[in-house]
């Protein structure tokens, strides 16, 4: 890992504040980052102090004044080169993500691939920031709308996707002409510092103004500062519903915009007409991938009574084959949780589930002994539960899967929708009527609804996000770019008269 840290310019002490190519010296606290993989310290990051925060904000505003005038395809060309740089660093960055966050190496690489994909998407988008033309009701008039950049976009990202979710926001915001200030999770700032080193070289080569891509590091107080700062017209935040509610209240109070991607409580409905081979693999990957720490993690399986026992037994057999251990070893399926606090939450969720009457068919527990010294490795587990249990209604960021039984599809959909969150959902069925009912207006109420695919692992081409307590935001593909721009309606009169709309007469 030492070589990787050196290769990524992050070995030893790191400054945690940058305006692009410059790293600001400051008086912020030193944060020691430890890997959940083996508990060892990786490197330090100096957190952003007030003085540096102000310097970053000022630089961002200055940079925006010129960046917004670059033709969008020229900004796209910079993003294309960012994609190339990420391709060149995929292996090193993927390994670092895996080591700092604890996800499997495959998923670490997958995360960097997701960044590369969004770069490609954003390059094409830079020539497609389309507005409409509208027919005016007045003769000799033309109406159209155009999209302008917003200004400084704040991006708060979560530990579970230390780099990809930032890139969904930043790559789009940049081609749109915005400047970005990124606050990564205080649990995974090293991956962010590494990204900043990678992209800053591209920015320098292209003479992008200093301040277009800034990095600030810190914990909750820094996030609150960004939320309250009226110089940030859009704050995009990924994390817990609790955090999102606080951000929404603060940003809303100053009538700023938010883009929220918060908790999920994602379910797969398995009907009697499911292809069980697909259903089981989809459910297991969805439940244990990233050790249950994706917002799209499968947390509930809603299984028809007629196949319930079969599915339960197949799941138990599949879980018995899971290899838990060092995520950098490609043979392992499941790595550690992010830290010991997460382990505590996992344990208390299991306790709560038992107290409420849950029956564990695959038992959980914390792993100890050789290879598990960090104390962050836990066993993925499965409990038979009831939809109304308090714990089943909540998102616990850990590999705990709840089995729920249903009899009619209507009931299954009601259970699926009967939680406060609305991110991702799936149905496993080969029956057209069941599938289309699930996708209809009376079906899933989530932002993502899949057929014969699990709940996690969405592609970047679609709009990503969810309803209800998931926050309502949509990031990544489709027309999510509009979040990062302001719409302007233009009416131009090229006639010799001044007719008023709605036929109003005004004569002097």
Residue 334 has φ and ψ, to the nearest 5°, of -125, 125
Between 72 and 119, whose beta carbon lies closer to ligand UN1?
Answer: 119
Does the annotation mark 261 as catalytic?
yes
The contacts of residue 424 (CB under 8 Å, 6+ apart) are: 264, 266, 295, 296, 446, 447, 448, 449, 450, 455, 456, 458, 466
At closest approach, how far in Å is the CB of 380 from ligand UN1? 16
- Other Cβ atoms within 10 Å of 344 Cβ, number: 12
At closest approach, how far in Å is the CB of 289 from ligand UN1? 8
The contacts of residue 6 (CB under 8 Å, 6+ apart) are: none
- Sites of contact with ligand UN1 (CB under 6 A): 114, 160-161, 165, 238, 294-296, 456-458
Indicate the pairing of strand 30-34 with strand 41-46.
antiparallel
131 SS3 class: coil
Between 151 and 477, whose beta carbon lies closer to ligand UN1?
Answer: 477
Catalytic residue among 261, 395, 434, 475: 261
C-alpha 107/C-alpha 453 separation (Å) is 17
> Is residue 13 packed enough to be buried (19+ CB in 10 Å), middle (13-18) or exposed (0-12)?
exposed
| CA 499 to each of CA 120, 136, 438: distance values in angstroms, whole numbers, following the listed order | 46, 11, 51
- At 9, list the tokens: 């310019």
DSSP H or E stretch at residue 417: helix 409-417
At closest approach, how far in Å is the CB of 180 from ligand UN1? 18
At closest approach, how far in Å is the CB of 296 from ligand UN1? 4
Between 20 and 239, whose beta carbon lies closer to ligand UN1?
Answer: 239
- Other Cβ atoms within 10 Å of 5 Cβ, number: 20
At closest approach, how far in Å is the CB of 114 from ligand UN1? 6
Segments of 35-136 assigned E as strands: 41-46, 133-134
User: Are 94 and 108 a contacting pair, CB within 8 Å?
Assistant: yes
Between 19 and 476, whose beta carbon lies closer to ligand UN1?
Answer: 476
Which residue minimizes CB distance to ligand UN1?
458
Look at the block and give the residue holding tokens 């770019």: 481
- At 219, list the tokens: 């914990």
At closest approach, how far in Å is the CB of 208 from ligand UN1? 27
Residues forming the active site: 261
């Amino acid at each position: 890992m030492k070589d990787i840290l050196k290769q990524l310019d992050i070995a030893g002490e790191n400054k945690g504040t940058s305006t692009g190519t410059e790293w600001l010296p400051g008086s912020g606290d030193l944060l020691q980052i430890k890997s959940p993989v083996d508990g060892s310290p990786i490197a330090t990051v100096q957190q952003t102090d007030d003085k540096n925060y102000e310097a970053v904000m000022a630089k961002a505003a200055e940079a925006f004044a010129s960046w917004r005038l670059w033709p969008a395809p020229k900004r796209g060309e910079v993003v294309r080169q960012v994609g190339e740089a990420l391709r060149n660093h995929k292996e090193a960055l993927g390994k670092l993500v895996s080591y700092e966050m604890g996800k499997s190496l495959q998923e670490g690489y997958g995360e960097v691939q997701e960044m590369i994909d969004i770069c490609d998407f954003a390059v094409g988008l830079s020539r497609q920031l389309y507005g409409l033309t509208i027919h005016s009701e007045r003769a000799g008039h033309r109406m159209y709308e155009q999209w302008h950049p917003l200004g400084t976009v704040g991006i708060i990202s979560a530990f579970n996707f230390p780099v990809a979710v930032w890139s969904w926001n930043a790559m789009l915001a940049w081609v749109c002409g915005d400047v970005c200030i990124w606050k990564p999770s205080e649990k995974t700032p090293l991956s962010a510092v590494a990204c900043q080193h990678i992209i800053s070289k591209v920015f320098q080569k292209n003479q992008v103004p200093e301040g277009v891509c800034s990095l600030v590091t810190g914990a909750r107080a820094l996030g609150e500062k960004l939320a309250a700062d009226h110089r940030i017209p859009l704050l995009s935040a990924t994390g817990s519903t609790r955090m999102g509610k606080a951000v929404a209240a603060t940003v809303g109070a100053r009538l700023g915009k938010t883009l929220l991607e918060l908790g999920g409580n994602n379910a797969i409905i398995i009907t009697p007409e499911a292809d069980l081979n697909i259903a089981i693999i989809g459910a297991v990957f969805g439940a244990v991938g990233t050790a249950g720490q994706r917002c799209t993690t499968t947390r509930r399986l809603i299984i028809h009574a007629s196949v319930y026992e079969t599915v339960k037994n197949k799941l138990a057999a599949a879980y018995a084959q899971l290899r838990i251990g060092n995520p950098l070893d490609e043979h392992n399926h499941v790595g550690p949780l992010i830290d010991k606090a997460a382990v505590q939450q996992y344990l208390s969720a299991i306790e709560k589930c038992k107290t409420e009457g849950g029956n564990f068919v695959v038992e959980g527990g914390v792993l100890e002994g050789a290879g598990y010294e960090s104390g962050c490795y836990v066993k993925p587990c499965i409990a038979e539960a009831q939809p109304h249990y308090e714990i089943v209604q909540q998102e616990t960021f850990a590999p705990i899967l709840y089995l729920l039984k249903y009899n009619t599809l209507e009931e299954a959909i009601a259970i699926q929708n009967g939680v406060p969150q609305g991110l991702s959902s799936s149905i496993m069925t080969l029956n057209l009527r069941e599938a289309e009912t699930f996708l209809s207006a009376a079906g899933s109420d989530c932002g993502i609804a899949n057929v014969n695919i699990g709940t996690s692992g969405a592609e970047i081409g679609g709009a990503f996000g969810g309803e209800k307590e998931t926050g309502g935001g949509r990031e990544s593909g489709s027309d999510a770019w509009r979040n990062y721009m302001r719409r302007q309606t233009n009416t131009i009169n090229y006639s010799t008269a001044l007719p008023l709309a709605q036929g109003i007469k005004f004569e002097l």
